[in-house]
Amino acid sequence: MSSEILLLARLSKNFENLLLNSDNNHDMIINVGNESNCKTFYAHSLILSSQSEYFQSALSSDWIKKDGDKIIFDKPNVSPINFDIILKHLYCGTVSLNELTTSELLDLLSSTDEFMLPELMNFTESHLLSIADSWIKSDLIKIYLFVRKFLECKNLQEFCVEKICENPESLFNSDDFINLSEEILINLLKRDYIKMKEVKIWEYVINWGTHKCSNNLSKKNVNEWKKENFDELWEIEKNLVELIRFNEISSESFSNAVRPYSLMFPREMYENLLWNYIKPQQTNKSPRNKKLHAFASTIPSGFGFGFGQTTQPAVGGFGFGQPASTQSVFGFP
């Protein structure tokens, strides 16, 4: 062991002793936790302000409470176990997270963010990644939704998204799905790899949107909808629909799952989708998942379109063998 490391280890040990004996020479009393789980810590304002921008700012404030010559500091929203870790980090530069549960680790992430301790946050993030096998099956969605609010936790966020893409049902079938923000879904739909057929992704997007609509659209048969219902749905999820890779949806699946919502689309967009099944066009969207679902370019016999007044010739009906009126295809008069 080099002399530099020995000196650092000795310095860390000296500060640890200072912390352990701080009840005799402290100038700060820190009350942490709530009534059911609280603890009082004793610390030195000089050390905390030199080690943490948060304490540097807080201890220079005119709002500091004092009892005699002692600074009184209250943090009811921080757990004692996490504040103990934070103090040891600030005094000694040592951290041990092996005994913490997943919930306690997430709580620690919040505390490190509040106390502006990026090194400890990164260490906690790395620890969560190293023990991913212990939470990936039970807490993947919980952890992903939680860590999204921390910009510094990019590695953990990316890890969670990759695992969700490998098993998207874990998110789409969760109780949290219908309450997800549009931003989260956009982030997922931009991915080139989601282990799910595109038509299923479409159905989940529709389900998400109908739960956001008024009038309980999620509980109504789409055949009972009015035009304003389709318009409302489009406004809610148009940014998501634009990310659906319709060229990966077979003609039969399109007819069954997409056509019932034809009135939702702008007319030109829907016509372009239909014409793609007659003459597939190049798209700037790469295949979502080549292993699972390749676009079926073969069109069933009798599959056709009734466009009405368009620049393309009308060649039948969008009914897989049975003629269909223009309105039944597009929903346009």
Please name which of 61, 81, 85 lies closest in space to residue 73, comparing C-alpha atoms.
61
Q: Which two tokens stand for residue 259?
A: 């056509």
- Helix (H/G/I), strand (E/B), else coil: 287: coil
pLDDT of the residue at 30: 92
What does residue 30 show for φ and ψ, rounded to 5 degrees? -115, 115
pLDDT of the residue at 142: 94
Would you tell me how many other CB atoms lie within 10 Å of the CB of residue 95?
15
pLDDT of the residue at 197: 95
pLDDT by 10s per residue, the chain, length 333:
565 555 556 656 655 666 666 666 788 899 999 988 999 999 888 888 888 999 999 888 777 888 888 899 999 999 999 999 999 898 888 888 999 999 999 999 999 999 999 999 999 999 999 999 999 999 999 999 999 999 999 999 999 999 999 999 999 999 999 999 999 999 999 999 999 999 999 999 999 999 999 877 877 789 999 999 999 999 999 999 999 999 999 999 999 999 999 999 999 999 999 998 887 766 656 666 644 333 233 333 333 333 333 333 333 333 333 333 333 333 333
Give the model confidence (pLDDT) of 72-126 as tens digits. Answer: 999 999 999 999 999 989 888 888 899 999 999 999 999 999 999 999 999 999 9
pLDDT of the residue at 270: 94
Beta bridge partners of 65: 72
Distance CA 277, CA 254 (A): 10
pLDDT of the residue at 293: 37
What does residue 202 show for φ and ψ, rounded to 5 degrees? -55, -45
Q: 49 with 78: CB under 8 angstroms?
A: no
65 CA to centre of own chain? 39
This prediction has a pTM of 0.75
pLDDT of the residue at 297: 34
Distance CA 177, CA 205 (A): 10
pLDDT of the residue at 3: 57
